[in-house]
């Protein structure tokens, strides 16, 4: 059986996919973050839950874990920074949590369906094997009966031949 995928959303190495470059100003990251959040919302609207989840997770990782360690982060006081912080609290964290639950439910359903289909397949395969065994046994039984019939016929023919031989000498005696 396949273990459910949702036990580790995202995979442990996932946050390491987000890296920052000290030579790029934090302001550019904030502007990119606005676009990243917009794309995540588009994915969510289109029903692409996995892609939305990945983008929200990267968004959170970038602005909570990675960017605060940028050397110029403290000097940055752009309106985008306040917008990003607001989006983190009001949008990214709640949507990521909601998506995680929805994905867990989806993967749980898929896993349950997989297990049900697997059981059905195993039952059908067992039934196929049982039928094949019955057919094989039936063929063997028919072959055995045919062989027995042949032996009986041969024995009967031999007896008739012996009886005919026994009658011939007695007929010659008369």
Whole-model pTM: value is 0.65
Domains of the chain are 5-100 (1.20.58.80)
* Locus of tokens 């892609």: 51
**What is the DSSP track for 87-140?**
HIIIIIHHHHHHHHHHHHHHHHHHHHHHHHHHHHHHHHHHHHHHHHHHHHHHHH
3-class DSSP string for 145-172: HHHHHHHHHHHHHHHHHHHHHHHHHHHH
User: Which sign does the torsion angle of CA 48, 51, 53, 56 carry?
Assistant: negative
- Residues 118-170 have pLDDT tens digits of 999 999 999 999 999 999 999 999 999 999 999 999 999 998 888 888 877 65
| pLDDT tens per residue, range 41-67 | 999 999 999 999 999 999 999 999 999
Q: What is the mean pLDDT of the chain?
A: 87
Question: Could you give the 3-state DSSP secondary structure of residue 25?
Answer: coil
- φ/ψ of 24, rounded to 5, equals -95, 130
**170 or 12: whose pLDDT is higher?**
170
Taken as a whole, the chain contains a residue count of 174
What's the confidence (pLDDT) of residue 172?
57
What pLDDT, on a 0 to 100 scale, did the predictor assign at position 169?
60
């Amino acid at each position: 059986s396949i273990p459910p995928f949702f036990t580790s959303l995202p995979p442990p190495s996932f946050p390491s996919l987000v890296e920052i470059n000290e030579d790029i100003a934090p302001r550019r990251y904030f502007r990119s973050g606005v676009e990243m959040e917009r794309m995540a919302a588009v994915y969510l609207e289109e029903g692409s839950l996995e892609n939305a989840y990945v983008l929200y997770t990267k968004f959170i990782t970038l602005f909570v874990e990675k960017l605060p360690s940028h050397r110029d982060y403290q000097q940055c006081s752009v309106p985008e920074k306040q917008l990003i912080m607001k989006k983190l609290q009001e949008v990214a964290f709640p949507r990521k949590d909601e998506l995680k639950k929805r994905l867990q439910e989806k993967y749980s359903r898929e896993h349950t369906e997989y297990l049900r289909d697997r059981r059905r397949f195993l039952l059908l395969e067992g039934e196929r094997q049982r039928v094949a065994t019955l057919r094989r046994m039936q063929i063997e039984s028919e072959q055995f009966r045919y062989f027995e019939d042949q032996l009986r016929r041969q024995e009967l023919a031999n007896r008739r031949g012996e009886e005919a031989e026994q009658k011939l000498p007695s007929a010659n005696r008369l």
